[in-house]
Amino acid sequence: MVLRKCLGLCTFPSVHEEGFGIPVLEAFSYGLPVIVSENEAINEIAGAGALSAQSLDPHAWSLAMEKLINSPDFRNELTKNGKLRLKAFSKTAFLDGIENYIAKN
């Protein structure tokens, strides 16, 4: 809890197409704005809740972090979008998806 209060943002740099993006969703649940790599899978999970930066470009990452630190309005927008995006991965959304699939088939 203390660490979460100290964090101002979450970065998820990734060079490879890694897993599902659970760390991104976890950051959304804590109300943190997120910066992710320009990675198709992770960007699909993050949606409008994250800012993306080129994976192997440290300067791009520093500019993205600077943007979030210096722009409270943008940071708040990402945080709000992250909370909304998180709802797409809720238990209810999952069960609704299964129910719709079964109903169609």
Please name the CATH architecture into which domain 2-104 falls.
Answer: 3-Layer(aba) Sandwich (3.40)
Contact between 50 and 68 (Cβ < 8 Å): no
For 38-96, the pLDDT digits (tens) are: 888 889 999 999 999 998 899 999 999 999 999 999 999 999 999 999 999 988 988 88
Query: DSSP letter at 104?
Result: H
| pLDDT class of 8 with cuts at 50, 70, 90 | confident
Rounded-to-integer distance, Cα 77 and Cα 82, Å: 8
Strand order in the sheet with 10-12: 10-12, 34-37, 50-53
Taking the domains of the chain in order of start, what are their residue ranges? 2-104
Rounded-to-integer distance, Cα 86 and Cα 48, Å: 11
